[in-house]
Amino acid sequence: MPECPLDAVQQRAFLYRHIRQFFAERQVMEVETPVLSNHANTDVQIEVFQTQGITDDASTAYLRTSPEFFHKRLLAAGGGDIYEIAKVFRLGESSRRHNPEFTLLEWYRLDWTLFDLMDEVAVLMQSTLNAFGWPKAEVKHISYVDLCQLHLGFNPLANEKEELNRSCQEHGYHGDAMSHSQCLDFLFAVVIEPKLNPNELLFVYHFPASQAALAQINPEDPSTCLRFELMWQGLELANGYQELTDAEEQRQRFEQDNQTRSAMNKPTLPYDAHLLAAMASGLPACSGVALGLDRLLMKLLKTESLAGVLPFPTNRA
């Protein structure tokens, strides 16, 4: 039997219809891209599923962790504004808030800034809240550094790793010394997130440059990047970038990921040469965002875990 009530399955169908109508009214084209790829996401914070090769000259293929690379190849080919309701996969992520197979809404807007895209995410969220009978939410924006100053009392980007580790220990961390980026993640999740107003649509922007992934570095402050996250009801729901368009810089980031993976005794992964070629041919200026639909539905229906909205989570798959 399904884990969640059939009503949750019906509500998911309603959510998807609502999303498709939202983008149809804005003339954003729905696309479908491959789940299996010859290349992998090199992000050191993410582990990927591997399977048999899908071409004669490759022994291994990878389940996508995001449709991002394929979307950018479409953008470089002239695809225009696009979106996808995409099944994605991340190895080892299983908890009340995580399932190894989950659904992202990902979309890209040409010639939009990070702040333009935050505005559209807010409009989509308000529209969705209304459709599900929720009251209108207050929208707030705050930079990562200002949020840390507010709740930690200091700017963590100005602190050395040793100082950050001491702060983590003061807030209950026990274990080996962490990297600068790991300390930032710990302090954000353990100290800051529990203090946020759950009823606000809170956009946190200009994350540390070390967490840029595929975002541009902030030209006005190179210690930060043009990236945002949306927080609502105690969860990160969306992660957006003003997208990096420089192929050589992206190549360097992929290679740095693999060097870090090697240092952490993690397997190195083949990065996407097709993406780099597309970027080199001319990826247009754009901003993109991924929004977790399972998490969003979980909160909209006021369930305590993803099992409340997934008919067949990992333990029943």
CATH number at residue 19: 3.30.930.10
- Asked if the structure places residue 131 within a domain, the reply is yes
Mean pLDDT of 150-176: 92
Asked whether residue 193 is domain-assigned, the answer is no
304-308 long-range contacts (CB < 8 A, ≥24 apart) are: 304/96, 305/96, 305/97, 306/96, 306/97, 306/98, 306/99, 306/102, 307/3, 307/4, 307/96, 308/4, 308/5, 308/8
- Does the residue 130 lie in any domain? yes
Q: What is the pLDDT of residues 279-288, one digit of tens each?
A: 999 999 999 9
Q: Virtual CA dihedral for 109, 211, 238, 123, nearest 10 degrees?
A: -50
Q: Is the pLDDT of residue 93 over 80?
A: no
Q: Which domain holds residue 221?
A: 6-138+199-316
Residue at 73 is within a domain: yes
CA-to-CA distance for 7 and 234, rounded, in angstroms?
24
Q: Tell me the pLDDT band of 90, cut-offs 50, 70 and 90.
A: very high
Cβ-contact 291, 283 below 8 angstroms: no
List pLDDT tens digits, range 198-250. 999 999 999 999 999 999 999 999 999 999 999 999 999 999 999 999 999 99
In a domain, 90, yes or no: yes
Percentage of residues in the chain having pLDDT higher than 90: 92
Res 213: pLDDT = 92
Question: What's residue 159's pLDDT?
Answer: 87
* 3-state DSSP of the chain: CCCCCHHHHHHHHHHHHHHHHHHHHCCCEECCCCCEECCCCCCCCCCCCEEECCCCCCCEEEECCCCHHHHHHHHHCCCCCEEEEEEEECCCCCECCECCEEEEEEEEEECCCHHHHHHHHHHHHHHHHHHCCCCCCCEEEEEHHHHHHHHHCCCHHHCCHHHHHHHHHHCCCCCCCCCHHHHHHHHHHHHHHHHCCCCCEEEEECCEHHHCCCECECCCCCCEECEEEEEECCEEEEEEEEECCCHHHHHHHHHHHHHHHHHCCCCCCCCCHHHHHHHHHHCCCEEEEEEEHHHHHHHHCCCCCHHHCCCCCHHHC
1 within some domain = no
Q: What is the pLDDT of residue 315?
A: 85
Residue 107 clears pLDDT 80, i.e. is over it: yes
Does residue 292 lie in a domain region?
Answer: yes
At 57 the pLDDT is 86
What's the pLDDT at 164? 94
- Cβ of 79: how many Cβ atoms within 10 Å? 16
In a domain, residue 188? The reply is: no
Reported as a single tens digit per residue, the pLDDT across 17-64 is 999 999 999 999 999 999 999 999 999 989 999 999 999 888 999 999
Mean pLDDT of the chain: 96
Q: What is the pLDDT of residues 3-15, one digit of tens each?
A: 999 999 999 999 9
Model pLDDT, residue 183: 94
Domain count within the chain = 1
Percent residues over pLDDT 70 in the chain: 100
**Which pLDDT value is given to residue 92?**
87
